[in-house]
Structure 1
Amino acid sequence: MKSIRLKAYAKVNLSLDVLGKLDNGYHQVEMIMQQIKLSDDVFIRWFPDEDADGISITLKTNRYYLPVDSRNLAYKAAQIMSERVGHGLKGTVRIDIKKNIPVAAGLAGGSGNGAAVLHGLNVLWEAGLNLKKLCSLGAELGSDVPFTIMGQARGNRDLIKVFGKDPMATTCALAYGTGTELKPIKPLESPILLSKPPLSVSTAEVYQGLDKEAIEKRPDNKAMEEGLLAGNIDIVKKNMVNVLEGYTLSHYKQVKETKEKMIEVCPGASVLMSGSGPSVFAVSQDREELERGYKELKEINEETYLTRTIV
């Protein structure tokens, strides 16, 4: 038996712009994503068995309501790896996921789990795939998966040994196209306050709603990239804009209330919704302010966390 344990980190969107809708129905985006220390624990084991009929997959999680079949990106990742690099292998892949990241929260938790399985089997099966190839496979699973692959290569010790010198091993990137084309950029170094109201938001609904609404303010991603490079937190905070907020905040009262409360209790921070929601986060160099905000938000939303970015 071979095994590997990986951290699947959450991400936040420091910015998110939607530039239009493509003929295939996907939206063209431009956004800056940053990985944070809040993570799921993904334990992958490989039991070779010469008497087995190919490769079988079993998946368990600590959240009873999550699917443990091909509807789960971690399971689907194991299927893709079996099809692409598992030729001639026989045995069982066992995946155990301890979820800490809120589910359906705009934090790429499920995407990160899929990314961890791609990474894990690449190591356990000695497949030798580079980050570019892994990201290409990840794009077949979902638009957030390639970025989580890059971040895990930077954040996990076992993966740093393999990919440490690869420029794609980064925890911050500019994503464009459908979100799978990625440019590594200098990460943000900051504490983060994160809070998820107890509800789910449909990404498809938000994008469809956005198509019918005028976008009043867009982020300047070039300016933010320059701010990150210079380590200028004020430029970063100034350009923290998510165009999806207009729809989500107006249609989901709890998300709006969470953002308003976070702004109230963390007046020196920049506060933004991540992805299509419902999670809201605050960026501030004043950790004491975020600690006070954590106590206030925790009383409103159980899934509230004080964490920080990964550099």
Structure 2
Amino acid sequence: MVATRLCAAAKINLYLRVLRRRGDGFHEIETVFHSVSLADELAISERPGDHVEVEMRVETPSGAPLPALEENLVTIAARLLSARVTGPGHGGAYVEVLKRIPIGGGLAGGSADAAGALVGLNELWGLGLG
């Protein structure tokens, strides 16, 4: 049973300016971006236990390989959230990602999918996160 289904939209950068380097080694940036109609689809459902399982299906031709699931941003984000959630009905989930955004195409598909997984898990588990 799919408890929640959502789209994770691709985006394009219209403007990017790299600013000062921060103490943590990263840079401040100024950016303007716009989402586009191309999107991946996420289906998220509960599963028993505290394990989060992620499955990726690719529906777009891409020259870049799909990252190993353990290195995939969806897996990392979902498991980090699961590890911090306790209580009945929290922590176990199945996340299926249907990839339509080209992998490695510079359209932020991986980060959009990770954010979508967090939004979906928040809804599924009733966490009440902003």
For the aligned pair, the TM-score class normalised by the smaller chain equals 0.7 to 0.9
Instruction: Give ranges in structure 2 of 5+ residues lacking alignment.
Output: 59-64
How many angstroms does 1:2 deviate by? 5.4
The answer on whether the counterparts of 1:3 and 1:46 sit within 8 Å (CA) in structure 2 is yes
The answer on whether the counterparts of 1:18 and 1:27 sit within 8 Å (CA) in structure 2 is yes
Letter in 2 for 1:62: R
> 1: distance between equivalents of 2:128 and 2:28?
32
Letter in 2 for 1:106: G
SS, match of residue 128 in structure 1:
coil
Identity of aligned residues (%): 35
Residue 10 in 1 paired to residue 5 in 2?
Answer: no
Residue 58 in 1 paired to residue 53 in 2?
Answer: yes
Q: 1:42 to 1:2 in 2, by over 3 A?
A: closer
> 2: distance between equivalents of 1:18 and 1:76?
27
Name the residue aligned to 1:232: none
The answer on whether the counterparts of 1:2 and 1:124 sit within 8 Å (CA) in structure 2 is no
CA RMSD in angstroms, aligned pairs only: 1.8
Measured against aligned partners, the alpha-carbon deviations of 1:185-213 in whole angstroms (never above 9, x if no partner) come to: xxxxxxxxxxxxxxxxxxxxxxxxxxxxx
- The structure with the greater share of residues assigned to strand is 2
The answer on whether the counterparts of 1:81 and 1:118 sit within 8 Å (CA) in structure 2 is yes
> 2: distance between equivalents of 1:119 and 1:28?
25
- The structure with the greater share of residues assigned to helix is 1
Name the residue aligned to 1:24: 24
How many angstroms does 1:99 deviate by? 0.6
Q: Which has the larger radius of gyration?
A: 1
User: Between Structure 1 and Structure 2, how many residues are aligned?
Assistant: 123
Name the residue aligned to 2:62: none
> 2: distance between equivalents of 1:104 and 1:89?
38
How many angstroms does 1:87 deviate by? 0.2
The answer on whether the counterparts of 1:61 and 1:99 sit within 8 Å (CA) in structure 2 is yes
Give the TM-score normalised by structure 1: 0.37
Q: 1:10 to 1:77 in 2, by over 3 A?
A: same
Measured against aligned partners, the alpha-carbon deviations of 1:255-311 in whole angstroms (never above 9, x if no partner) come to: xxxxxxxxxxxxxxxxxxxxxxxxxxxxxxxxxxxxxxxxxxxxxxxxxxxxxxxxx
The answer on whether the counterparts of 2:2 and 2:43 sit within 8 Å (CA) in structure 1 is no
Name the residue aligned to 2:116: 116
SS, match of residue 18 in structure 2:
strand
Measured against aligned partners, the alpha-carbon deviations of 1:92-113 in whole angstroms (never above 9, x if no partner) come to: 3111111111112221100011
> 2: distance between equivalents of 1:12 and 1:46?
33
Name the residue aligned to 2:69: 68
Letter in 1 for 2:94: R
Q: After TM superposition, what 4+ stretches of structure 1 lie above 4 angstroms from structure 2?
A: none
> 2: distance between equivalents of 1:94 and 1:28?
35
Give 1:38-49 correspondences, 5 Å limit: 38-47=38-47, 49=48
Query: Quick one: higher RCO (CA 8 Å, sep 6+), 1 or 2?
Result: 2
Give the TM-score normalised by structure 2: 0.84
